[in-house]
């Protein structure tokens, strides 16, 4: 009987379930596909959890125009190494790893050679040009995989792989503020708010007007003040980070920014920025955008969160309910982050 169980186990492992985007509809399709084998320099990963990011929503809503189709989305992947490709000796079978948005770089362009691999001329992006984690298995370039701790739950770790990382890179762009505004209090903001508070920074959270639930959530996580995006903060801010994909928030944020301060746009897609008076930008205020991340960002960020007590609030969904997760994100029904797992749907708090 043991040999029969092994044959059955092997047969089960020949295929995986995945949610696939075909480019024709914003509804993902549940599909059964062959499990991909790792190529040279790659690892195969059995997925434990995959966060649902606003970038995934921009892909399926076709705000981002050039995905490789058909596509398995997802780039906040936590899993365990299940097979090693030729030449990989830095990971072991069964080791927990994370797979982020930046999945590959050329290593030879001017940006890669000047430690700006996030701007690589020929990059690969997980869940956009490389199949991602809305599936039971995936493969990844071993050089762009992060080792992850064993003492935290997979669904707790998943949002750190993008919401956490892009929030951290946005924070680095903000220029060591003492007071920080955050526009849009979703997955990235609820992590960054706690990181900033742990560093002694006053956080001012701006949500959709009249969204008292999100404002209370921000206060619970350490924000000094929370209000609607149309409101003025009680003080002028050293910097603001905009996570909401709303271009009209840029001139709004500038008006609350003190001289020499910065407004950082932390998303991959944003609606058009309306015109505004030059006087709102004058006095050495600046506007910055954030593109992707570097592996150095990841190393710094995971070291930082290992020392800070960060509460990750998640709503989990089974893989086959990815469309529900995306719709909840699209319509602002989430506090914290949505995460796909193989388990039943539940609301949970991790700390």
pLDDT (0 to 100) of residue 307:
83
Report all structural domains of the chain as residue ranges with CATH numbers, in order of start.
12-161+314-350 (3.90.180.10), 165-289 (3.40.50.720)
Average pLDDT over residues 209-217: 93
pLDDT (0 to 100) of residue 306:
84
The DSSP 8-state label assigned to residue 280 in this structure reads: G
**Are 127 and 70 a contacting pair, CB within 8 Å?**
no
Give pLDDT tens digits for 61-84.
999 989 999 999 999 999 999 999
Q: How sure is the predictor about 345, in pLDDT bands with cuts at 50, 70 and 90?
A: very low
Strand, helix or coil at 56?
Answer: helix
Is residue 167 pLDDT above 90, yes or no?
A: yes
Give pLDDT tens digits for 276-312.
999 999 999 999 999 999 999 999 999 888 887 888 9
pLDDT (0 to 100) of residue 115:
94
pLDDT (0 to 100) of residue 141:
98
Listed in sequence order, the DSSP H helices in the chain are: 2-12, 54-60, 110-113, 154-157, 163-173, 187-198, 212-220, 249-255, 295-307, 322-330
pLDDT (0 to 100) of residue 13:
64
Longest dimension (CA), the chain: 79
Give pLDDT tens digits for 17-45.
999 999 998 899 999 999 999 999 999 99
Is residue 4 pLDDT above 50, yes or no?
A: no
**Are 291 and 105 a contacting pair, CB within 8 Å?**
no
Q: pTM score, two decimals?
A: 0.89
Residue carrying structure tokens 């320099």: 41
């Amino acid at each position: 009987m043991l040999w029969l169980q092994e044959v059955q186990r092997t047969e089960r492992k020949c295929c995986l379930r995945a949610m696939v985007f075909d480019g024709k509809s914003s509804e993902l399709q549940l599909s059964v596909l062959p499990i991909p084998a790792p190529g040279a320099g790659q690892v195969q990963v059995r997925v434990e959890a995959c966060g649902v990011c606003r970038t995934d929503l921009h892909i399926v809503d076709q705000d981002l125009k050039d995905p490789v189709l058909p596509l398995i989305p997802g780039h906040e992947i936590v899993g365990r190494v299940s097979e090693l490709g030729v030449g990989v000796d830095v990971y072991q079978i069964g080791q927990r790893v994370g797979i982020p948005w930046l999945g590959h770089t050329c290593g030879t362009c001017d940006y890669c050679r000047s430690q700006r691999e996030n701007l690589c001329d020929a990059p690969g992006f997980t869940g956009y040009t490389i199949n991602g984690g809305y599936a039971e298995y995936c493969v990844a370039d071993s050089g762009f995989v992060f080792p992850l701790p064993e003492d935290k739950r997979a669904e707790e770790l998943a949002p750190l792989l993008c919401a956490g990382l892009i929030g951290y890179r946005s924070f680095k762009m903000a220029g060591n503020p003492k007071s920080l505004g955050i526009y849009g209090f979703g997955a990235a903001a609820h992590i960054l708010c706690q990181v900033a508070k742990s560093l002694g920074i006053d956080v001012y959270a701006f949500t959709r007007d009249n969204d008292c639930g999100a404002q209370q959530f921000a206060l619970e996580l350490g924000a000094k003040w929370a209000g609607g995006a149309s409101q003025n903060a009680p003080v002028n801010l050293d910097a603001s980070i905009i996570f909401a994909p709303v271009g009209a928030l840029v001139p709004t944020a500038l008006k609350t920014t003190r001289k020499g301060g910065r407004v950082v746009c932390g998303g991959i897609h944003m609606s058009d920025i309306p015109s505004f008076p030059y006087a709102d930008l004058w006095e050495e205020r600046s506007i910055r955008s954030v593109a992707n991340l570097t592996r150095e960002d990841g190393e710094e960020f995971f070291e930082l969160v290992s020392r800070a007590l960060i509460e990750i609030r998640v709503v989990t969904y089974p893989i086959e309910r990815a469309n529900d997760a995306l719709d909840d994100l699209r319509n602002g029904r989430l506090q914290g982050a949505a995460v796909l797992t193989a388990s039943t749907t539940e609301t949970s708090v991790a700390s």
